[in-house]
Amino acid sequence: MKRLFLYGNAADYPNYCAAFAALNAEVVTDAPERCDALLLPGGADIHPRFYGQEIAGARDIGEARDEAELALARQFIAERRPIFGVCRGLQLINVALGGTLHQHIEHHDAIDEKETVHPVYTDDAFFTALYGPRFHVNSWHHQSIDRLGEGLRPILWADDGCIEAVRHETLPILAVQWHPERLCLALARPDAVDGAQLLSAVLQAF
């Protein structure tokens, strides 16, 4: 059974835990040195000071989590160990590698507390094999990558140009801006892809 390390309280991330448990993997919050990968989940905005900016659209900031997850990301990067990021996790990986963020964008956030769905496109072999060159994903974010972090390559985009996934050119790092953990099991929906396919592929790759 593969183990993914997550900073914080696992009970705060039931969708991630359930999705990976269904794939015979475990999300844990101790002993990162004994885990197969680092999981960086969604959540609040990263304080802009970590990428050299003043607050200009960022909200619901938690700097203690920022500091802890940035330290973990940089540790795993230095050790060349696998990292998988989701939403905020993608943004945090980008910041850890020296990139910056758009602090606020339109048309990607939830509407009346419900996730929106939109098409994305790719020419990346990994995603094309899973879902084809164009498919629909969920969306619940109001920030996105601006300047890419060192070594990151965009591999999935929304029609408005928003980067929806990145991989590292030489390290085992993959991250998505959408939420596959909320597109599987009881949360699967007919108007978007099956998130379990991506999570399963990530576990096999790592």
| Catalytic positions | 87, 179, 181
**CA distances in angstroms from 180 to 42, 58, 63, 139, 184, listed in the order given:** 11, 24, 25, 10, 7
Between CA 176 and CA 139 the distance in angstroms is 11
Using a 10 angstrom Cβ sphere, with 0-12 exposed, 13-18 middle and 19 or more buried, the burial of residue 176 is: buried
DSSP calls for 74-137? HHHHHTT--EEEETHHHHHHHHHTT--EES--SS-S-BTTB-EEEEEE---HHHHHHH-SEEEE
